[in-house]
């Protein structure tokens, strides 16, 4: 097992290119199962999660080639069973459920694993597929789907859950509905850019979809889809993480290959704190501000402030000489990083789903344990500004969602090293 040793205090400066989106790549790769033809996906980030998805596609019978960020898939003949050994390591593997249902009408997909950030059920995924006429049984940890051609039809349904719209649920239902007879109307659909990116790929494959990027998506089913080429959008969460790093320490950094519109909730929050940003067509620059003010944020579905940036803003709040609060409404239990930051000297009071951070205290390096993907990134950010040496253990969490994070930070001037226990 590897860990990251971060030597705090080294200033950051320079430019960094943002990789393709993890949360777009995974369902787009799964969508290649919808056709027998060849699909080419570009700017797929080199991550353990995308590696798992490529492996899942191969185990399901697809021919897959991967080189330099390009993944070529030909799923001419595919299997109907995705067993637990395949899907247990990554929650997003559930997104093969929709394509397998749409194309084969009958499949078995094990309930997935993934990082621990609270309850993340798939009931809305199943509800959506049942609305389309699929018969579903959950038995022994397996989801068994039978969608006879006569009953598998378009329908009107709502995917809004108690914590907002479900992104992967929207993805799954869309991918099944594109091959269902008739019209499907999804109310309460997720409006995230990653969902819109998937829709754009499906349209290139021949799907008929309207309303992408809104909470009402209309799908007119087609008989079959064909191959297509697609370039994945930039990863807005990686971009936001680097913006936090640039705000916390250094002389200013510029993130490139981004879509600023996708980062508006993050950039507006940074501006309200007093950070000065220069926003170009595909770039954003930021520098620290010693007189920055505290913030009061609540995580919401897009276009609100993203839950995937909550932990990084906790780290940012630690260096602002003021009081900040963050309320988590998407995954209320997603505060496992707080205890680790307190080991470094952070003054954080956690009450329910709200963290109150009194910033300004000097953080000190310490051994810390990453609990999930975004928490691990936040601990690295804290280590960049801490006095002395910080050891971030369970580095595999970072490798799930950040392409070569340590190398990119080192290129900006950070002093850190990846070592094996």
pLDDT more than 70, % of the chain: 98
Q: From the candidates 115, 273, 301, 318, give the one annotated as an active-site residue.
A: 115
Q: What is the pLDDT of residue 92?
A: 85
**Phi (first) and psi of residue 247, to 5 degrees:** -75, -25
Sign of CA pseudo-dihedral 329, 45, 380, 278: negative
Q: What is the pLDDT of residue 44?
A: 98
**117 pLDDT exceeds 50?**
no
Sign of CA pseudo-dihedral 363, 368, 374, 377: positive
> Does domain 22-231 sit in CATH 3.65.10.10?
yes
CA distances from 279 to 237, 272, 282 (A): 17, 15, 8
Over residues 264-293, the mean pLDDT reads 98
What's the pLDDT band for 126 if we cut at 50, 70, 90? Answer: very high
**84 pLDDT exceeds 60?**
yes
Domain 2-19+234-420 shares a fold with domain 22-231: yes
User: Which residue ranges make up each domain of the chain?
Assistant: 2-19+234-420, 22-231
136-189 pLDDT, tens digit per residue, is: 999 888 999 999 988 999 999 999 988 789 999 999 999 999 999 999 999 999
Per CATH, which fold does 2-19+234-420 belong to?
Answer: UDP-n-acetylglucosamine1-carboxyvinyl-transferase; Chain (3.65.10)
Q: Are 100 and 73 in contact (CB under 8 A)?
A: no
Sign of CA pseudo-dihedral 245, 116, 401, 196: negative
Weakest mean pLDDT among 77-86, 321-330, 360-369: 77-86
What is the value of pTM for the model shown? 0.96
Q: What is the pLDDT of residue 189?
A: 97
Q: Would you call 115 a catalytic residue per the annotation?
A: yes
Mean model confidence pLDDT for the chain: 95
**369 pLDDT exceeds 90?**
yes
Q: What is the pLDDT of residue 113?
A: 62
């Amino acid at each position: 097992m590897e860990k990251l040793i971060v030597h705090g205090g080294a200033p950051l400066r320079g430019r960094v290119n943002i990789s393709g989106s993890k949360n777009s790549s995974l369902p787009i790769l799964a969508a290649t199962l919808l056709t027998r033809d060849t699909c080419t996906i570009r700017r797929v980030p080199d991550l353990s999660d995308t590696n798992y998805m490529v492996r899942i596609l191969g185990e399901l019978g697809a021919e897959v080639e991967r080189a330099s960020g390009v993944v070529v898939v030909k799923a001419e003949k595919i299997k109907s069973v995705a067993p637990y050994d395949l899907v247990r390591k990554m929650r997003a593997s559930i997104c093969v459920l929709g394509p397998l249902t749409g194309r084969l009408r009958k499949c078995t997909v094990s309930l997935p694993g993934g990082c621990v950030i609270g309850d993340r059920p798939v009931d809305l995924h199943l509800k959506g597929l049942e609305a389309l006429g699929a018969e579903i049984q959950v038995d022994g940890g397996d989801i068994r789907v039978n969608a006879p051609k006569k009953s598998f039809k378009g329908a009107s349904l709502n995917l809004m859950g108690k914590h907002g719209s479900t992104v992967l649920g929207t993805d799954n239902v869309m991918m099944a509905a594109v091959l269902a007879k008739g019209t499907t109307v999804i109310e309460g659909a997720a409006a995230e850019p990653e969902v819109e990116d998937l829709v754009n790929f499906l349209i290139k494959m021949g799907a008929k979809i309207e309303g992408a990027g809104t909470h009402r998506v209309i799908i007119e089913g087609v008989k079959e889809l064909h191959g297509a080429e697609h370039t994945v959008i930039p990863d807005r969460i990686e971009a936001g993480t680097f913006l936090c790093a640039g705000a916390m320490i250094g002389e200013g950094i510029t993130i490139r290959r981004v879509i600023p519109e996708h980062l508006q909730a993050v950039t507006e929050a940074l501006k309200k704190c007093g950070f000065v940003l220069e926003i170009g067509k595909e770039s954003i620059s930021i520098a620290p501000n010693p007189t920055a003010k505290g913030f009061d944020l609540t995580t919401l579905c897009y276009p609100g402030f993203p839950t995937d940036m909550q932990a990084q803003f906790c780290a940012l709040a630690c260096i602002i000489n003021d009081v900040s609060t963050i309320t988590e409404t998407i995954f209320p239990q997603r505060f496992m990083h707080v205890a680790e930051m307190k080991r470094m000297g952070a003054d954080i009071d956690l009450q329910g789903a709200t963290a109150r951070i009194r910033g300004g205290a000097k953080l000190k390096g310490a051994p810390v344990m990453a609990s999930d993907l975004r928490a691990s990134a936040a601990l690295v950010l804290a280590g960049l500004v801490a006095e002395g040496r910080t050891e971030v253990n369970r580095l595999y969490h970072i490798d799930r969602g950040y392409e070569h994070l340590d190398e990119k930070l080192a290129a900006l001037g950070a002093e850190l090293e990846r070592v094996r226990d």
